Structure 1
Amino acid sequence: MTTADTTGTSTTADTTAENSTRGYYVTQGKAFDRDMNYIDDRITRDGRDGWPVEAGRYRLIAARACPWANRTLISRRLLGLEDVLSVGMPGPTHDMRSWTFDLDEGGVDPVLGYERLQQAYFARFPYYPRGITVPAVVDVPSKAVVTNDFQRITLDFATEWTEFHREGAPDLYPEAQREEIDALNKWMLHRVNNGVYKVGFAGSQEDYEREFALLWEALDELEERLGTSRYLMGPSITEADVRLFPTLIRFDPVYHGHFKANRQTLASMPNLWNYTKDLFQTPGFGDTVDFVQIKRHYYYVHEDINPTQVVPLGPDLSPLMEAHDRDRFETDTWGPGGAAPEAPLAAEVVDPAHTPLHVTGR
């Protein structure tokens, strides 16, 4: 294995990372299998992994296009961590090597001084063998990646960063419900969040039909569940809602057509659709969503699924701003003593042209 330098120049050392980073590929005759091995270091109050919680020390790298990164942007907003945890946002597309900071002036992250997220990974692991993924948390002093464990990052935001939570922040991971939340999150990961990818990247008709059936069985269960309470766990939002929303908000614009998950649109399922509208209109959720970046990412990067790289103009997303019916249920959105977050930081406001009333030209 040859070496790879830390400037972002690719050599054979990061061939695996290149293939993973470019986007998932359809393998003829094989089912989709996501690599779930991530850097599992944690940033904690006691710093037991060598990474203590500190204001200003870390930078969250989270592309708006990515659903796994989207959940970290939502959690950071809801908990009010903006002033203690800065954010870098790569653009919606990337090459085989890495996500790039092409939205920043000069194509360089203003805090890390990197053109590519790959450089933060190589600063710690010169031979890092897996995908250069978002979300990732980077240690600013060393400019080296700390973790990319998307399953753990938001849980630690909720439980380890409490010293810096805003006044009125919701308890997204209430102790009394953790066991049930964990079970639901695990089920949703395999059947819904990753389920859409299993459908979209199925390498055979048999694999596609099996995963299609499992995905819609799960969505039907969620439709039924959301017929009894406003949110997944009851009257208040929790980590479970933070994890489901990024998949649902991408469903009709991307997964329905691009991934062939097309039994029906989400908009035709009353509980799921009104739940999605409800969360989209809730501060901290919809204000993290950039539909132009989302569609650009999926339809442009996945060349094996969409070789022309043509990005569709539809669907019409303006109904997301229409009234929903979720207030028919018992509601305590922010929990006892909680309150909605303030407006996003000026530098983090989504381009109005990328929001539902404008993205389809209306």
Structure 2
Amino acid sequence: MSGVPTVLETIEVQPSWKTNVSSSGEYVRAQSSFRHWITAEGSSGFTAEPGRYHLYVSLACPWAHRTLILRKLKGLEDIISVTVVDWLLEEHGWAFNGQRAGCAPDTVNSKVYLREVYQLADPAYNGRITVPVLWDKKERTIVNNESSEIIRMLNTEFNAFCQTEEQRNLDLYPADLRPEIDALNEWVYRDINNGVYKCGFATSQVAYDGSVINLFEALDKVELILSENRYLFGTLLTEADIRLFTTLCNRKLQSVDYKNIWGFVRDIYQTAGIGETVNFDHIVNHYYQSHRTINPNGIVPIGPHLDFNSVHERGKLAVDATVGPTGISG
């Protein structure tokens, strides 16, 4: 023995998701810690530049998936580089793995675990290690690890580097719809995006029952909206659609009960290369093999085999783009 600590010995064990469970058994998501902003002209201290920023993501995480979709839709693949972490989340947290299909080593900071990247930005950091992470190669720090803010930066601040005029003009958070988008995002986040975790990670029957009821009531609202609108805001694709899609794409869809939601998911999946950002192997393997307190034997079920490229006919729903979600609130 050389007496030199191994990487595993120097990396703290990642806090379990159970540390985010309240005394009543309800899962409570922790707040993101790094909240800096990139601006086109650099007034924030972080200037939008080609090649300067890097995304650390998991293809199994719907929050990280949002950022990959915005990067794709805005044509920023050559502007912002990406590293995909291992889908297997073990006690030391997200890891880099160049040997597993679809994953990669950390070629930016040469680390083994994502926690080490966090500690490059803040040596005293002891919070949860989450994806996505937007890293600044120039300043060698984390700019932001809040997905909702990262997608808005990608939506507007890198327009000078988009590949086409169509991509530059694409605005998924238009000024005239922002109050309505924010209002819809609020209840979709509460009851669907985070709601599925509140159901899956609940440790009491009361907490589970309440979360499930809220989840299906919210899905019913979405189904009604999508029965009359191609997207959540008429014929206009917005960030609200992307935020909803990544959660729905991560879960087993009841295509019979929610035929409009199922059509919507296929519609988004088939849009402008978005399907290329989806990796079902990572999604399934992560959720069934990483959380052993829920699935102790790590058994991955077979199916269902859904055809995300099948015809959806959502284009027939020609509704005024300013109508919005039929007045349904949270």
TM range (shorter): 0.7 to 0.9
Structure 1 segment 226-265 matched on structure 2, within 5 A: 226-252=226-252, 265=254
- Are the counterparts in 1 of residues 33 and 145 from structure 2 also a CA contact under 8 Å? yes
Relative to structure 1, the CA distance from residue 331 to residue 81 in structure 2 (aligned partners, 3 Å threshold; closer, same or farther) is farther
- Name the residue aligned to 1:132: 129
Residue 66 (structure 2) pairs with residue 77 (structure 1):
no
Question: What is the CA–CA distance in structure 1 between the aligned matches of 2:276 and 2:143, rounded to whole Å?
Answer: 27
- Are the counterparts in 2 of residues 28 and 204 from structure 1 also a CA contact under 8 Å? no
Question: What is the CA–CA distance in structure 1 between the aligned matches of 2:209 and 2:132, rounded to whole Å?
Answer: 30
Secondary structure of 1:251's aligned partner: coil
- Are the counterparts in 1 of residues 58 and 64 from structure 2 also a CA contact under 8 Å? yes
- Name the residue aligned to 2:310: 322
Which of residues 263, 267, 290 in structure 2 aligns to 1:278? 267
Residue 161 (structure 2) pairs with residue 164 (structure 1):
yes
Shift of 1:65: 0.8
- Are the counterparts in 1 of residues 20 and 28 from structure 2 also a CA contact under 8 Å? no
**Letter in structure 2 aligned against 1:83:** D
After TM superposition, the score normalised by the length of structure 1 is 0.80
Structure 1 segment 326-337 matched on structure 2, within 5 A: 326-330=314-318
- Are the counterparts in 2 of residues 68 and 134 from structure 1 also a CA contact under 8 Å? yes
Unaligned 5+ segments in structure 1 are 254-264, 334-362
Could you say what the CA RMSD is over the residues aligned between the two structures, in angstroms?
Answer: 2.5
Shift of 1:45: 2.1
Shift of 1:246: 0.7
Stretches of 4+ aligned residues off by more than 3 angstroms: 7-11, 22-29, 103-107
- Are the counterparts in 2 of residues 27 and 203 from structure 1 also a CA contact under 8 Å? no
Shift of 1:128: 1.0
Shift of 1:101: 1.5
**Letter in structure 2 aligned against 1:284:** G
Aligned length: 311
- Name the residue aligned to 1:355: none
Secondary structure of 1:60's aligned partner: strand
**Letter in structure 1 aligned against 2:133:** A
- Name the residue aligned to 2:32: 37
Question: What is the CA–CA distance in structure 1 between the aligned matches of 2:79 and 2:216, rounded to whole Å?
Answer: 40
Question: What is the CA–CA distance in structure 2 between the aligned matches of 1:127 and 1:37, rounded to whole Å?
Answer: 16
Structure 1 segment 106-255 matched on structure 2, within 5 A: 108-167=105-164, 168-169=166-167, 170-252=170-252
Shift of 1:97: 2.3
Relative to structure 1, the CA distance from residue 87 to residue 8 in structure 2 (aligned partners, 3 Å threshold; closer, same or farther) is farther
Secondary structure of 2:248's aligned partner: helix
**Letter in structure 1 aligned against 2:304:** P
Matched-pair identity in %: 38
Relative to structure 1, the CA distance from residue 267 to residue 316 in structure 2 (aligned partners, 3 Å threshold; closer, same or farther) is farther
- Are the counterparts in 2 of residues 24 and 302 from structure 1 also a CA contact under 8 Å? no
Relative to structure 1, the CA distance from residue 279 to residue 213 in structure 2 (aligned partners, 3 Å threshold; closer, same or farther) is same
Question: What is the CA–CA distance in structure 1 between the aligned matches of 2:191 and 2:32, rounded to whole Å?
Answer: 19
Shift of 1:172: 1.0
Question: What is the CA–CA distance in structure 1 between the aligned matches of 2:191 and 2:58, rounded to whole Å?
Answer: 23
Question: What is the CA–CA distance in structure 2 between the aligned matches of 1:332 and 1:98, rounded to whole Å?
Answer: 46
Task: Please list the CA deviations of residues 237-268 of structure 1 after superposition, one character each: whole Å capped at 9, or x if unmatched.
Answer: 11111101011111207xxxxxxxxxxx2453
Deviates more, 1:110-119 or 1:185-194: 110-119
Unaligned 5+ segments in structure 2 are 322-330
Which of residues 64, 76, 88 in structure 2 aligns to 1:93? 88
Relative to structure 1, the CA distance from residue 71 to residue 286 in structure 2 (aligned partners, 3 Å threshold; closer, same or farther) is same
Secondary structure of 1:230's aligned partner: coil
Shift of 1:291: 0.6
Question: What is the CA–CA distance in structure 2 between the aligned matches of 1:95 and 1:266, rounded to whole Å?
Answer: 32
Residue 7 (structure 2) pairs with residue 19 (structure 1):
no
- Are the counterparts in 1 of residues 20 and 30 from structure 2 also a CA contact under 8 Å? no
Secondary structure of 1:19's aligned partner: coil
- Are the counterparts in 1 of residues 268 and 274 from structure 2 also a CA contact under 8 Å? yes
Secondary structure of 2:252's aligned partner: helix
Shift of 1:325: 2.5
After TM superposition, the score normalised by the length of structure 2 is 0.87
- Name the residue aligned to 2:48: 53
